[in-house]
Structure 1
Amino acid sequence: MAFILTFLGKGGVGSTTMAIASAHSYAQQGKKVLLAVQDSSPCFSALLGKDVGKEVTEIVPNLNAIRLHSSKLLEDSWEKVEELEKKYLRSPILKNIYGSELSLLPGMDEALTLNYLQEQDEQYDIIIFDSKNALSCLRMFGIPDTLSWYVRRMRDILANSDIVKGLSPFIQPVSSAVLNVSWNADNFASQPTNEANELLENGKKAVHNPSRVAAFLVTNDQPTAIASALYLWGGAQQIGLTVGGVLLNQSTNTPEITAQFHPLTINPIPQTTNQDWNSIMALLPDFQENARQAPKPLEIDTSKREVKVFLPGFAKKQVKLSQSGPEITIEAGDQRRNIFLPPPLKGQPVKGAKFQDKYLVISL
């Protein structure tokens, strides 16, 4: 299985440069690497020194690259969808709809991209993903948790829905063809081992596992860039995505910057000319080792009846805490985190919450 690495930072701080340098570094180590980007500008190809389009392109030995376009990803499966429509529906409804149009649906970019990365999992040792922007990246990695929450909330309603029962013969194969998810009435039954829930749970486990997926912050010493990085750090913790460290691009570290990102390791990257990848690569951290040593986004201590959520970048007034049955919901920034309490704490009401050393400590 591949290790998926991504970079989070304000636009213009060098996230794409760090992604390319990291890809070259892993390729030189003999790892089979895929560099997947959503940037449609010519800058990416200029940085790589080779034109990269919608098909996988070899850059150097062990390193392939591709630009991801949701319309292309969806159209790759569109013929399968049309065949399934003919098979399952008496009156075709998609004859005037094209895959490129469906790609405009909200969230489709992130869903299709996440599915593509998952499909490459067995083909590469390392997948480096460079998103069109950091918030979109967080929304993408948060999809399994968000969908899982909706499935749990809507299960009882949809299990007996005539609409779901009527459309499920068509929805199931179409969703399998496009997003590798099988949705039908049985998926909303009470059994926790049904296919949809199991798929979503596996997705959440992968995102929450620092050995499978990790992000690194990229910033410079400008206050706006640092503020953005801190905000993204907190947002990543909200979806359970491990942030393994900070790349301080074209800047010198200071005690103030160190304190703001404590306890993360900061790697200063000095300014280079003409994309001197070797100079940058020599200063990159061991991403996988740093990710394993990073603070865990969530810790639950049943003996202390305590839930600790690592929430750097947020003040107490920016956080909303609520509880519904066995779940605790934390809203901070643009992200909502749903924490399913283990059996020893299930059903226990929240007694208090406080901020301590960048952790939200919840007492039950």
Structure 2
Amino acid sequence: MALILTFLGKGGVGRTTIAIAAAKRFANQGKRVLLAIQEAGPAPGLMLGMALEPDPKELAPHLQVVQFHGTTLLERSWEELKKLEAQYLRTPFFKEVFGQELGILPGMDSALVLNAVREYDASGNYDVIVLDGAGDQSTLRMLGMPEIAGWYIRRFRQVFADSDLGKTLSPFIQPIASAVLNVSWSDDPFNQPVTRQATDILEQGRQAIADPSRVIAYLVATEEEGAIATAHYLWGAAQQVGLTVGGVIANQTSDTSAFNARFAPLPVSGVANQPANDWQSLIDALPNFDLASQVPPPIAINVAERKVSLFLPGFDKKQVKLTQYGPEITIEAGDQRRNIFLPPELSGKPVAGARFQDSFLIISF
């Protein structure tokens, strides 16, 4: 399994430059690195001095680079879907539809990129994957997909089972499905081989995002107030998807005084302006990414004290909304909503109280 490193910040603050430098640093340490670029335009290739392709291409010893092309990813994913269909259905109906015909719907490209990163991670070919994504809310929504999609499956599975429709159809699901599919089918449509496979992948993704030794983000900002404010907002929003932010890179400045108090307790690293193509100076100025796990975790659950603590920097209590439906609780902060899957000891218990203290939302049961 690889370490997945990405960068968040306003456009134009130098995230791509920082990502390239980080990839080069890891490669210089002898680690097998994949620099994965989400932007489909020509700018990253010009910075790297090479034509980028939708398959990994060697940039330097231990360092490969890939540029994601949505159409290529869609064609490959569609072929995998058709293989699954052929495996489970007696009469596949997607076989006459070809990936080369399909257009990319809004939001589909993020899911395709996330799946591609998962596959590169699972390949075992890399120790580090540096993801140069959009670096904004779309990146956070992409990384939050495993948890949100898992919630949809859990929630609608129970809703269907408890509904009159579910109770009416349950006796007929097994014989009808067995007549159509190549496998035996239980009376739970959400507990079948293909569904379990998808659920397992989502759970692995959720656990990876929540583990700072597996997925970590750094904020990138310049001294411009809009860049600092955007980074601060993304810091809080990242907590809502369970993503650990390991620190701040103050780009194009060696004076970090404008950042230190604003982003405490995150470590801040100043990166002064570097001469063009002086990659080594930039590499030397980067923070020690191995220390990222020492920052406060996005969420901490204390079963003994019956408390859940969420770290929500950048928000105050007026901007945070807490609701509870059934066994889970929902936290809304800014433009992000998170459904927290509680351990069995707390699941289904009513919230007894909540307070906002030192950027932490502390919920008692």
Give your verdict on TM over 0.5: yes
For residues 129 and 3 of structure 1, the distance between their equivalents in structure 2, rounded to whole angstroms, comes to 10
**Cα offset, 1:194, TM superposition:** 4.3
CA distance in 2, matches of 1:43, 1:172: 48
Between 211-220 and 124-133, report the one with greater CA deviation: 124-133
Aligned to 2:349: 348
Letter in 2 for 1:275: N
1:296 paired with 2:297, answer yes
Deviation string 1:247-285 (CA, Å, 9 cap, x unpaired) is: 000024344421110000000000112131100110111
2:18 aligns to what? 18
> Residues 16 and 301 (structure 1 numbering): CA distance in 2 closer, same or farther, change over 3 Å?
same
CA distance in 1, matches of 2:43, 2:244: 28
Q: Matches of 1:34 and 1:76 in 2, distance apart?
A: 19
Q: Which amino acid in the other structure matches residue 44 of structure 2? A: F
- What is the CA–CA distance in structure 2 between the aligned matches of 1:170 and 1:103, rounded to whole Å? 29
Structure 1 residues 296 and 164, CA gap change in structure 2 (3 angstroms): farther
Task: Name the CA distance, whole Å, in 2 between partners of 1:184 and 1:251.
Answer: 61
Return the alpha-carbon distance in structure 1 between the equivalents of residues 70 and 93 of structure 2.
24
Contact 1:5/1:128 (8 A) holds in 2: yes
- 2:335 maps to what in 1? 334
Q: Deviations over 1:305-327 (max 9, x none)?
A: 22110001222222211012221
Relative distance call for 1:188 and 1:130 in structure 2 (3 A) is same
For residue 23 of structure 1, give the secondary structure of its aligned residue in structure 2: helix
Deviates more, 1:227-236 or 1:324-333: 324-333
CA shift, 1:114, in A, is: 1.3
Q: Against the structure 1 CA distance between its residues 89 and 108, is the aligned structure 2 distance closer, same or farther, given a 3 Å change threshold?
A: farther
Superposed, which structure 2 residues align to 1:221-260 within 5 Å?
Answer: 221-260=223-262
Q: 8 Å contact 2:90–2:182 — kept in the other structure?
A: no
For residues 164 and 46 of structure 1, do their structure 2 counterparts lie closer, same or farther at Cα, with a shift above 3 Å needed? farther
Q: Give the aligned partner of residue 43 of structure 1.
A: 43
Residue pair 1:158, 1:185 contacting (<8 A) in 2 also: no
Distance 1:46 1:171 in 2: 50
What is aligned with 1:156?
Answer: 158
Secondary structure of 2:345's counterpart equals helix
In the other structure, the counterpart of 1:27 is 27
Q: Distance in 1 between matches of 2:328 and 2:313?
A: 22
Within 5 Å, give how 1:23-172 maps onto structure 2.
23-79=23-79, 81=81, 88=89, 90=91, 92=93, 95=96, 97-99=97-99, 102=102, 104-121=104-121, 122-158=124-160, 160=166
Find the aligned partners of 1:206 and 1:157 in 2 and give their Cα distance. Answer: 28
Contact 2:90 2:181 in 1 (8 A): no
* Superposed displacement of residue 146, structure 1: 0.3
| Contact preservation (8 Å) 1:8, 1:15 | yes
- SS of residue paired to 2:253: coil
1:162-201 equivalent positions in 2, closer than 5 A = 186=188, 188-189=190-191, 194-201=196-203
Residue 169 to residue 315, structure 1, CA distance change in 2 (3 Å): farther
CA distance in 2, matches of 1:208, 1:74: 27
Task: Report the TM-score when normalising by structure 2.
Answer: 0.87
Separation of aligned partners in 2, 1:311 and 1:138: 15
CA contact (8 A) 2:250 2:256 kept: no
> Partner of 1:202 in structure 2?
204
Partner of 1:188, secondary structure, is: coil
Cα distance in 2 for partners of 1:168, 1:139 equals 37
Residues 286/254 of structure 1: CA separation in 2 closer, same or farther (3 Å cut): closer
Q: Secondary structure at the match of 1:120?
A: helix
> How far did 1:156 drift?
3.2
Matching residue of 2:273 = 271
Measure the CA separation in 2 of the matches of 1:102 and 1:164: 31
Provide the C-alpha distance between the structure 1 equivalents of 2:283 and 2:186, rounded to a whole number of angstroms. Answer: 48
> Which SS does the other structure have where 1:281 is aligned?
helix
Aligned residues: 352
Residue identity matched to 1:277: W
Tell me, yes or no, if the aligned pair for 1:302 and 1:344 is still in contact at 8 Å. yes
Give aligned-pair identity as a percent. 49
Aligned Cα RMSD in Å?
3.0
Identify if the C-alpha distance between structure 1 residues 185 and 71 changes in structure 2 by more than 3 Å, giving closer, same or farther: farther
Give the Cα–Cα distance (whole angstroms) in 2 for the partners of residues 263 and 168 of structure 1.
Answer: 57
State the distance in 2 between where 1:98 and 1:71 align. Answer: 12
34 and 322 in structure 1: CA distance in 2 versus 1, 3 angstrom threshold: same
Amino acid in the other structure paired with 1:120: Y
- Unaligned runs of 5+ residues in structure 2 are none
Corresponding position of 1:178: none
Secondary structure of the equivalent of 2:300? strand
Rate the CA distance shift 1:50–1:266 in 2: closer, same or farther, 3 A. same
Q: TM-score, normalised by structure 1?
A: 0.87
1:179 maps to none
| Conservation of the 8 A alpha-carbon contact between 1:325 and 1:347 | yes
Q: Does the CA contact (< 8 Å) of 1:155 and 1:189 recur in 2?
A: no
Q: Distance in 2 between matches of 1:187 and 1:134?
A: 36
Q: Distance in 1 between matches of 2:105 and 2:50?
A: 31
AA matched with 2:29: Q
For residue 327 of structure 1, what is the amino acid of its counterpart? E
Letter in 2 for 1:304: E
Q: Cα distance 1:85–1:351, how it changes in 2: closer, same or farther (>3 A)?
A: closer
